Structure 1
Amino acid sequence: MTTPDRLLPLFTRSHGGGRSSMTCQYRCGNACDQDVPNTSDNAYFGDLVAAGVSRRAALRAGSAGAALVGLTAWSMPSAAAAPSSPATGAGAGAAGAGRAGSSALGFTGIAPTPANVDAVKVPEGFAWAPVISWGDPLFAGTPAFDFDNQTPAAQREQAGYNCDYVQFMQGGPGDNGAHKGLLAFNNEYTNDELMFRGVGSSADLTDEQLEIVQAAHGITVTEVARRNANSPWRWVQGGARNRRIHTDTPFAVDGPAAGSVHLRTSDDPRGERILGTLNNCAGGETPWGTYLSGEENFNQYFNATGAPDPQGRLKRYGITSGGRGWERIQDRFSVTKEPNEVNRFGWIVEVDPQDPTSTPVKHTALGRFKHEGATVTLTADGRVAAYMGDDERFDYIYKFLSKGTYREGDKRHNMGLLSEGDLYVARLDGDGAADGEYDGTGAWIPLVVDGVSKVPGYSVEEVLIWTRLAADRVGPTKMDRPEDVQPNPVNGRIYAAMTNNSARTPAQIDEANPRASNKHGHVTEFTEAGGDHGALTFTWKIVLVAGNPSDPQTYFNGYDKSEVSPISCPDNLAFDAAGNLWISTDGMPGTLNHCDALYVMPLEGAEKGRLQQFLSVPVGAETCGPVILGPDSVLVAVQHPGEVGNASPDNVVSQFPYRGDGQPRPSVIHAYRRHGR
């Protein structure tokens, strides 16, 4: 699919993280305008002291009046850097965006797209098409999407709103041949001002519109098909496995905290049945074929005005006054009326996408925090290791190890593996200046092991329900918004995206988070001891320090920076069959003045570190959920197109996916090589 570029005015951004005010409001409840929830006294410079590096030597002062911005002790090896353009910040990294054959796809990297362009850009020789968009009907009797005549009943049977994590599956019932499959994706949040005319904020929504908004959250599952290997995937209306999971869908609760007094409410006095899932961000696919989804910024949906917080539990999770008005139609979103309802969100949920009648589960054994997602792999002895990031400034990276072991072909058994096991949180220690890299050793600090709490003063239930506070007590490393944490199936290492942290001060930098006011983020590689995901120690190394390649602080795994693309705010990670790292971004319009994009970076060989841009999404949109289907085929979720501060249905900023209906519709798209055309 091709469309002419639509150039729009560059919009003023008022938030320190670089996002538009609309993004900050609906994505995370203006988290960057709130106090940092983590006020624990974990030392930032413990690794520096251990390495014998003084704080004075570790900090580098800028010119007179400038902020302290980096670490001299671990300055990166010099590499060629090109001058940047004041207009775009692109630099020669954009001009030298790539040469054919530089990645597993063999594409020529594209130049960065200016942030005000309303278009999807793909490499020469590729095309793209929408697979499914917000409002597309899922069932045989579901009405077609009608922007000006939405209803709660229709939305519960239509594709949900903002799409994030994407999972593509084949080989299930009904997948006859290579041209049928199953697609599942998260519906993270809604842009209320873009969904309805005449709405200036969530406070303006009618009760019916609030119901529509609630129904647009959750998870969408749909069968997909294509005509042949050279055509795009497309959703199938009426597919036997199609399903919508939303805020009124019943969930079971399992694990050590199931039935806890802290999970009981008026409607669920046993604490074993929860309605709905909220703010589903990333996720993970299990070896037994189920779908994991992380409940992330759930805090913003609850109004805590007047609620007591003597132990600081609400504050540590960012649950304050406000909310999005949902308490107007359901008391459970008022913390004063239902104080335990908020504890029922912030979990990893598991869905069997092959069975639309199955009850999804919230797994308490994996802890409660702002889950970006959970990605799983197997240990040497057959247990499940799940890696998780807590997407908040100065929060932590976690690992879960199952008690039971995986049984090939025994789905019923395997679906219980996330119900019982051990939970750990990561400490990263730097090794100092000797090797000229940001790297070191680390350990997984126990929180719960063999059903016993390892946190003084906390029961197992308390560790799992208030995981953030429990982790604060054992001294993990405060990270720069750890988001996706992904195992690489080829080299066996773990890769974690630190999206950014503009709140980190010069006094708070350490080797694992080496920049103050870190607006661009970085990617860290973990190697578990002995190559075993069941190990409790590891080594680590930062393989990407994002930003404009002309910035001396950036680093691309040692590659010549005149040959790489600019990148900022890494978010979701994925791998192709060769083990190359794919990175989607969230926030580049406000940091580099580029549209968000999808990149690939080889991790081995002569091209190691040569980051190239594959795709860019339209103005106001975020790139999410990349799935690398093969050497010529990629699925991407285009989330919140047109999400800029002054946009509305009567002031349309993006018309993506350009289906002629005049309004932006978040969509999963398929980018594919045009063979024989």
Structure 2
Amino acid sequence: MTLKRRHFLMFIGAGLGAAACTSIAQKQQSTPRSPSTATFNTAFKPLQGPFPLDGDPRSSAAQIEAYSRYRLADDLILPEGYGYYTIAAWGDPLGDSRFGYNNDYLSFIAVGDNEGWLTVNFEYISGGTWRQTYPIAIGRSLPFEEVATALKSREGKIDAGKLPDKDPLKAKIREICEAALEDQGIGVVRLRKSNNGEWKLADSPANRRISGISGLKGRYLNATGPGVAIFKKAKKRGFEDGLGDRIVGTFGNCAGGTSPWGTVFSAEENFQAQVPESVYPDGSSFDPSNLPFHIGGLYGQGNVFRLAGNKYGYMVEVDPSNPEDYGTKHTWLGRYRHEAVGFKVVAGQPLALYSGCDRRGGHLYKFVSKGTVRDPKDKANSQLLAEGMLYTAIFEPGGSGRWIPLKAETAIDPVLPSHLGGAKVRLPKRPDGGTFEVASDREAIAFKQQFKTLGDLYEGNAIEKQGAILIDAHYAANAVGGTACARPEDLETDSEGRLYIAYTSGSADGQGGPDLRIFRGPDGEPWEYGWIMRLRETDDDPAATSFEWEMLAMGGEPDAGGAGFSNPDNVLIDGDRNVWMVTDISTDQQNKPDGADRRGCFGNNSVWLIPTRGEDAGNAYLFATGPMECEICGPFLTQNRETLFLAVQHPGEMNGIREGDRTETRKFTLKTTDGTSFVQTREVPIGSNWPDPGTQKPPKPAIVAVRRLDGGAIV
């Protein structure tokens, strides 16, 4: 294809100047937007976003006129001819519990033309807004103020698990944490299509919640793989919960995937906010006391229940049709901050599962089964996850790469801080357990000289040592030189077996950063706005140890070579191999008025369609924008493409309930497609009332169905 300037930047790596989206705080009024045009046959007329995109045929003067005023809405905005309806929201009844908070990944498995199973992830609670709206949504109060008062002299923190059982403070903390963990996990519900064509909740004995405390109700989760040897080990160096291989629950459930054999995989992501992440060399947990309960951010929710941290951070598989299935954690897939799963399932070949670790400097992983697939739709494929090998990816700057196994024999060759622009690297601390920071290449090389293989870092017999490596997968991957990535948040394979990966953010933090030889901006600089990568295994072999990669699309403003979006997150591949992508701009960066970080200029989080073939490959077309302070998650198309399910997460996360019509007006300096600067006046609602916009009701995460008003296919 003919490379446009932006494509040239993505594929060749040439550099241009930085984005110019500077923000100036003001309080004025603005006017509505109007839709833009596109050359790609999207079947919908793309929305007009906050600034002009490549391909806008209008003159610079016309663009300035069209974009000089911009109004955000506290609603899900769709193209002309499309509408949505709410299926369920936080607090609605589900089984013997309720729909949880911050719905994320969605899976719909059809059972005939008019029924099916909807499986929903509930990721986390937004501390401030959850506290504000809980009494209204759930109908009862929790003792937030009493606990906050009691902990004021302790800076809001306490090791609640060590309090006497009769202590009233412990009972109050337990009540709060039970409610918070009940609002996380997984939900399964039957859907049935009504006479008017809308999907509605239906009664079924298999409707159920799998929450962060399911085991406290006798519904423990199971586990497979070498990690089980650690859970059942009689003499551990660390904490013992007395449950063997039984697991109390699941939380931090972010993205996921639906297997060809009809099960759903749920990714436990930021588990480290509720239980200790650190483990000892034998894979056992640090004591829960290492992460006290904190009333301010509602962190350390596992502390009061004395949960073992090494049992969280996995891929959880659930069969939605089986009412007795409360989830299985597959330890061969590794323990880290999982975000999503992709499948390569070919009859006669090993099963391959891909996943990413959503942290700055997290790695890309692949599991390859020991056994082979007989029938891609056979539920016996789940058994293949009990034995195999986990690999981490090494990317080369030229577009090639290879997989290295996380096993005892693999040589130590740590990630070097110099490749990360000086960001620190954390490595396993020995003999103590946990990790320590490496700030220089000299320290990393010294570590390599001290330890020769992964087997030197972990303890036990062969299976126990393998289990410990998997339980400490992120730090083991750091130790063997897995490429530090730019927050790999989601991935999916297309019909030809190519893997598409959303890298959300190329910035560093105190935990690490991405390899700037791979993840860099047009001038080689750290690039906050993210990428969509396409990866192909050598010979399309699921068990291949090498691959090729390229960037399909780059986030950022068009003037700087970006496609117009920022921070790509969940991806969906439709039947035409187009990528549907939703963005994940952090709540505190959405419409940010001070200009210090230009993410604010991108407006609310949104849904985009990106073709992968032809001259428009890599272009991005805006399909939807979300309510205030939300993230849109879990896009899922029904097989006939007539319904697009979406999860709207954490509306009003920063400012809570929108009171009256509270609005601020801000000013941003933007550019037209020919580089002419202009000032935009933007109207920004403060807080949210969605899914009841225009009312005084509290914001609630909810699941919606999008459809064409004429009943046709979405795309």
TM-score class, shorter: 0.7 to 0.9
- Within the candidate set 342, 357, 377, 1:375 is matched to 342
In structure 2, give the amino acid aligned to 1:666: P
- Within the candidate set 647, 652, 675, 1:642 is matched to 652
Give the conservation status (yes or no) of the 8 Å contact 2:507–2:514: no
TM-score by length of 1: 0.72
Query: Which 10-residue stretch deviates more, 666-675 or 195-204?
Result: 195-204
| Distance 1:397-1:350 versus aligned 2 partners, 3 A rule | same
Give the conservation status (yes or no) of the 8 Å contact 1:480–1:500: yes
| Distance 1:210-1:475 versus aligned 2 partners, 3 A rule | closer
Cα distance in structure 1, aligned partners of 2:550 and 2:289: 34
Give the conservation status (yes or no) of the 8 Å contact 2:347–2:373: no
Task: Tell me the CA shift for residue 653 of structure 1.
Answer: 1.8
- Within the candidate set 239, 247, 269, 2:212 is matched to 247
| Distance 1:445-1:266 versus aligned 2 partners, 3 A rule | closer
In structure 1, give the amino acid aligned to 2:505: N
Give the conservation status (yes or no) of the 8 Å contact 1:430–1:512: no
Give the conservation status (yes or no) of the 8 Å contact 2:283–2:467: no
Give the conservation status (yes or no) of the 8 Å contact 1:382–1:406: yes
Paired residue for 2:705?
A: 670
Paired residue for 2:517?
A: 510
Task: Tell me the CA shift for residue 119 of structure 1.
Answer: 1.1
Task: Tell me the CA shift for residue 443 of structure 1.
Answer: 0.1
- Within the candidate set 334, 337, 347, 2:314 is matched to 347
Cα distance in structure 1, aligned partners of 2:359 and 2:289: 13
- Within the candidate set 380, 401, 407, 2:368 is matched to 401
Give the conservation status (yes or no) of the 8 Å contact 2:108–2:117: yes
Q: Residues 307-345 of structure 1: CA distance to partner in whole angstroms, max 9, x if unpaired?
A: x988799999x99655445999999626xx95x801110
In structure 1, give the amino acid aligned to 2:407: V
In structure 2, give the amino acid aligned to 1:239: S
- Percent sequence identity is 30
Paired residue for 1:429?
A: 396
1:122 aligns with 2:120: no
Paired residue for 1:165?
A: 105
Cα distance in structure 1, aligned partners of 2:228 and 2:297: 25
* Equivalenced residues, count: 550
- Within the candidate set 95, 112, 116, 2:49 is matched to 112
Tell me the SS of whatever aligns to 1:479. Answer: coil
| Distance 1:72-1:231 versus aligned 2 partners, 3 A rule | closer
Paired residue for 2:199?
A: 233
TM-score by length of 2: 0.69
Task: Tell me the CA shift for residue 371 of structure 1.
Answer: 0.4
| Distance 1:166-1:507 versus aligned 2 partners, 3 A rule | closer
Q: Residues 459-478 of structure 1: CA distance to partner in whole angstroms, max 9, x if unpaired?
A: 21221111112112211111
Cα distance in structure 1, aligned partners of 2:181 and 2:659: 20
| Distance 1:480-1:313 versus aligned 2 partners, 3 A rule | farther
Give the conservation status (yes or no) of the 8 Å contact 2:181–2:301: no
Paired residue for 1:627?
A: 636
Cα distance in structure 2, aligned partners of 1:418 and 1:161: 30
Cα distance in structure 2, aligned partners of 1:315 and 1:72: 42
- Within the candidate set 478, 486, 508, 1:480 is matched to 486
Paired residue for 2:226?
A: 256
Cα distance in structure 1, aligned partners of 2:471 and 2:82: 47
Give the conservation status (yes or no) of the 8 Å contact 1:294–1:374: yes
Q: Which runs of 5+ in 1 are unaligned?
A: 1-70, 89-93, 140-155, 172-176, 432-439, 557-565
1:390 aligns with 2:388: no
Give the conservation status (yes or no) of the 8 Å contact 1:401–1:422: yes
| Distance 1:461-1:345 versus aligned 2 partners, 3 A rule | same
Give the conservation status (yes or no) of the 8 Å contact 2:503–2:569: yes
In structure 2, give the amino acid aligned to 1:372: E
Cα distance in structure 1, aligned partners of 2:113 and 2:273: 42
Give the conservation status (yes or no) of the 8 Å contact 2:485–2:513: no
Task: Tell me the CA shift for residue 612 of structure 1.
Answer: 0.2
| Distance 1:262-1:428 versus aligned 2 partners, 3 A rule | farther
Cα distance in structure 2, aligned partners of 1:479 and 1:596: 22
1:99 aligns with 2:66: no
Q: Residues 53-105 of structure 1: CA distance to partner in whole angstroms, max 9, x if unpaired?
A: xxxxxxxxxxxxxxxxxx999534999x99979679xxxxx9884338622xx
- Within the candidate set 601, 611, 616, 1:607 is matched to 616
Task: Tell me the CA shift for residue 302 of structure 1.
Answer: 2.8
User: 1:351-370, aligned counterparts within 5 Å?
Assistant: 351-370=318-337
Give the conservation status (yes or no) of the 8 Å contact 1:138–1:239: no
Task: Tell me the CA shift for residue 412 of structure 1.
Answer: 5.1
Please give the root-mean-square deviation of Cα atoms over the aligned residues, in Å: 4.1
Give the conservation status (yes or no) of the 8 Å contact 2:187–2:208: yes
Give the conservation status (yes or no) of the 8 Å contact 2:397–2:518: yes
Task: Tell me the CA shift for residue 390 of structure 1.
Answer: 0.4
In structure 1, give the amino acid aligned to 2:13: S
Cα distance in structure 1, aligned partners of 2:585 and 2:147: 23
Task: Tell me the CA shift for residue 663 of structure 1.
Answer: 1.2
| Distance 1:115-1:282 versus aligned 2 partners, 3 A rule | farther
Cα distance in structure 1, aligned partners of 2:11 and 2:263: 45
Give the conservation status (yes or no) of the 8 Å contact 1:497–1:522: yes
Cα distance in structure 2, aligned partners of 1:422 and 1:503: 30
1:221 aligns with 2:188: yes
User: 1:140-159, aligned counterparts within 5 Å?
Assistant: 157-159=97-99
In structure 2, give the amino acid aligned to 1:209: I
Higher CA-based Rg: 2
Q: Residues 242-294 of structure 1: CA distance to partner in whole angstroms, max 9, x if unpaired?
A: 11111222101111110315877988536210100010011111121111011
Tell me the SS of whatever aligns to 2:480. Answer: coil
Give the conservation status (yes or no) of the 8 Å contact 2:347–2:372: no
Give the conservation status (yes or no) of the 8 Å contact 1:193–1:202: no
Task: Tell me the CA shift for residue 574 of structure 1.
Answer: 0.7
Paired residue for 1:55?
A: none
Cα distance in structure 1, aligned partners of 2:36 and 2:187: 35
Paired residue for 1:535?
A: 544
User: 1:85-96, aligned counterparts within 5 Å?
Assistant: none
Cα distance in structure 2, aligned partners of 1:639 and 1:272: 32
Paired residue for 1:28?
A: none
Cα distance in structure 2, aligned partners of 1:297 and 1:445: 25
Tell me the SS of whatever aligns to 1:258. Answer: helix
Give the conservation status (yes or no) of the 8 Å contact 1:587–1:596: yes
Give the conservation status (yes or no) of the 8 Å contact 1:299–1:319: no
Tell me the SS of whatever aligns to 1:333. Answer: coil
Tell me the SS of whatever aligns to 2:552. Answer: strand
Cα distance in structure 1, aligned partners of 2:146 and 2:659: 13
Give the conservation status (yes or no) of the 8 Å contact 2:630–2:648: yes
Paired residue for 1:147?
A: none
Cα distance in structure 1, aligned partners of 2:181 and 2:554: 38
User: 1:263-412, aligned counterparts within 5 Å?
Assistant: 268-269=241-242, 271-302=244-275, 321=291, 323-324=293-294, 333=303, 341-379=308-346, 381-408=348-375, 411=378
Task: Tell me the CA shift for residue 240 of structure 1.
Answer: 3.0
1:441 aligns with 2:396: no
Cα distance in structure 2, aligned partners of 1:234 and 1:73: 45
Task: Tell me the CA shift for residue 211 of structure 1.
Answer: 1.9
1:657 aligns with 2:691: yes
Q: Which runs of 5+ in 2 are unaligned?
A: 1-8, 26-32, 51-69, 134-143, 150-171, 215-219, 413-452, 459-464, 593-598, 663-685
| Distance 1:670-1:326 versus aligned 2 partners, 3 A rule | same
| Distance 1:312-1:78 versus aligned 2 partners, 3 A rule | farther
Task: Tell me the CA shift for residue 444 of structure 1.
Answer: 0.5
| Distance 1:346-1:471 versus aligned 2 partners, 3 A rule | same
Give the conservation status (yes or no) of the 8 Å contact 1:398–1:426: yes
Cα distance in structure 2, aligned partners of 1:130 and 1:107: 21
Task: Tell me the CA shift for residue 498 of structure 1.
Answer: 0.9
Q: Residues 127-148 of structure 1: CA distance to partner in whole angstroms, max 9, x if unpaired?
A: 0111111111124xxxxxxxxx
